Amino acid sequence: MFERYSRQIATGKISLKEQNAFAKEKIAIIGLGAIGSPLAVLLLRLGAKNIIIIDRDFVELSNLQRQSYVEEDIGNPKAEALKKHLLEIDSSAKIIAVVADIDKETIKILKNQDLVLDGTDNMETRFFVNDFCMKNRIPWIYAAAIGTTVTTMNIVPGKTACFECVFEKELTPGILDTCETAGILNSTNTHLAAYVAVEAIKILLGKKISECLYYHDSWTHKTTAAEVKKRKNCNACNGKYLHLQEKKTESVALCGSNSYHIKPAKIVNIDLEALAGKLKKTLVVETKGSIIHITLENTKISLFADGRAIIKNAKSPQQAKAAYARIIGI
- Provide the minimum distance between the beta carbon of 126 and Zn ion in the complex, in angstroms, as a whole number: 13
Cβ neighbours of 223 (radius 10 Å)? 11
In the chain, the amino acid numbered 306 is: D
- Provide the minimum distance between the beta carbon of 243 and Zn ion in the complex, in angstroms, as a whole number: 12
Give the closest residue to 236 by CA, choosing from 140, 101, 118: 140
Dihedral of the CA atoms 16, 22, 23, 29 (nearest 10)?
-150
Cβ neighbours of 145 (radius 10 Å)? 27
Residue placing its CB nearer to Zn ion in the complex, 171 or 254: 171
Task: Collect all residues with Cβ–Cβ distance below 8 Å to 158 and sequence separation of at least 6.
Answer: 137
Cβ neighbours of 283 (radius 10 Å)? 17
3-state secondary structure of 60: coil
- Based on C-alpha coordinates, what's the Rg of the chain? 20
- Provide the minimum distance between the beta carbon of 134 and Zn ion in the complex, in angstroms, as a whole number: 7
- Provide the minimum distance between the beta carbon of 234 and Zn ion in the complex, in angstroms, as a whole number: 3
- Provide the minimum distance between the beta carbon of 72 and Zn ion in the complex, in angstroms, as a whole number: 43
Residue placing its CB nearer to Zn ion in the complex, 137 or 221: 137
- Provide the minimum distance between the beta carbon of 106 and Zn ion in the complex, in angstroms, as a whole number: 24
Give strand ranges (E) for the chain: 26-30, 50-55, 94-99, 115-118, 140-146, 149-155, 212-217, 223-227, 250-254, 259-263, 284-288, 291-296, 299-304, 309-312
Residue placing its CB nearer to Zn ion in the complex, 49 or 230: 230
Residue placing its CB nearer to Zn ion in the complex, 130 or 318: 130
- Provide the minimum distance between the beta carbon of 130 and Zn ion in the complex, in angstroms, as a whole number: 8
Residue placing its CB nearer to Zn ion in the complex, 5 or 241: 241
Binding-site ranges for Zn ion (CB under 5 A): 162, 164-165, 234, 236-237
184 has which bridge partners?
147
Give the closest residue to 215 by CA, choosing from 280, 149, 260: 149
Residue placing its CB nearer to Zn ion in the complex, 153 or 197: 153
- Provide the minimum distance between the beta carbon of 110 and Zn ion in the complex, in angstroms, as a whole number: 18
Residue placing its CB nearer to Zn ion in the complex, 115 or 236: 236
Which long-range CB contacts under 8 A does 64-70 form with residues at least 24 apart? 65/186, 66/34, 66/184, 66/185, 66/186, 66/189, 66/190, 67/32, 67/33, 67/34, 67/37, 67/38, 68/37, 68/38, 68/40, 68/41, 69/37
Residue placing its CB nearer to Zn ion in the complex, 22 or 163: 163
